[in-house]
Amino acid sequence: MKFFVDTADVDAIRELHELGMVDGVTTNPSLIMKSGRDIKEVTAEICAMVPGPVSAETVALDADGMIAEGRELAKIADNITIKVPLTWAGLQACKVLSGEGRMVNVTLCFSANQALLAAKAGATFISPFVGRLDDINIDGMDLIAEIRQIYDNYDFSTEILTASIRSANHMKEAALIGADVATAPPNVIKAMANHVLTDKGLDAFMADWAKTGQSIV
């Protein structure tokens, strides 16, 4: 499973990128707002660092506006993925932009039928939001499993980009189901390294090592 990092915080991306943990980046209008940066400037900086797909989201609500914004965002770098919402207009924009050979990430997906439409419209990525489904007591991971089955049934090449990930457990579940990609905030990716027994075991080893009076270097 590829790891995308869900942030526009350049320093946080760099830390994970240096460890080889970043296959791509996703941003959205809220993350750009949080960064306090100009969208084109910060996106260009991210694209220069990360060679994989970097999603930049359109904000127009009509197809022509999304297409115009998508073409403008695509000028930033070759690895830009244009992110459009899963509305009828978004699907129309997806069809045009993907037809021009551009990568398109269809976002705000909350149902298998929406994912099916995005694949038909030529999406490179579909972004089902698991955390926001969990928030309303619908199991977000059930949606990932449904989309996996549908895409496999018909050999769609659209990649499942599990989004709105809130926990390390979400990462594990997405990988078990066979999502192609998971995009997560930096703290969630780092939390995957944590285990209480690792901490406990390390404490015990350190206590015993101190009793030996030895040093390695």
Q: Which residues are catalytic?
A: 83
For the chain, the farthest-separated pair of C-alpha atoms sits apart, in whole angstroms, at 72
What are phi and psi for residue 14, nearest 5 degrees?
A: -60, -45
Smallest distance, ligand E4P to C-beta of residue 164, A: 3
127, 140, 147, 179: residue in contact with ligand E4P (rule CB under 6 A) = 127
Shortest Cβ distance from residue 143 to ligand E4P (Å)? 13
* Binding of residue 35 to ligand E4P (CB under 6 A): no
Q: Does 81 bind ligand E4P (CB under 6 A)?
A: no
Hey, is 202 helix, strand or coil?
A: helix
Buried b (16+ CB within 10 A) or exposed e, 124-137: bbbbbbbbebbeee
* Contact pick of 46, 67, 123, 163 for ligand E4P (by CB under 6 A): 163
Q: Which is nearer to ligand E4P, 124 or 183 (CB)?
A: 183
Minimal distance, residue 47 CB to ligand E4P, in Å = 16
When the beta carbons of 172 and 200 are compared against ligand E4P, the nearer one is: 172
Q: Smallest Cα–Cα separation from 90: which of 113, 71, 65?
A: 65
**Does 131 contact ligand E4P by CB under 6 A?**
yes
Task: Please check whether residue 110 is in contact with residue 126, taking contact to mean a CB–CB distance below 8 angstroms.
Answer: no
- The reply to whether 28 sits near ligand E4P by the rule CB under 6 A is yes
Q: Which is nearer to ligand E4P, 144 or 154 (CB)?
A: 144
| Residue closer to ligand E4P (CB basis): 35 or 107 | 107
What torsion do the CA atoms of 39, 41, 42, 44 make, to the nearest 10 degrees?
110
CB of 42 to ligand E4P, least distance (A): 15
Judged by CB, which is closer to ligand E4P: 27, or 98?
27
Query: What is the end-to-end Cα distance of the chain in Å, rounded?
Result: 38
Note the helical H segments in the chain. Answer: 10-17, 29-35, 39-49, 63-74, 88-99, 112-120, 130-135, 140-153, 168-177, 186-191, 196-212
Specify the 3-state DSSP secondary structure of 43.
Answer: helix
Binding residues vs ligand E4P (CB under 6 A): 6, 26, 28, 107, 127, 129, 131-132, 163-164, 183
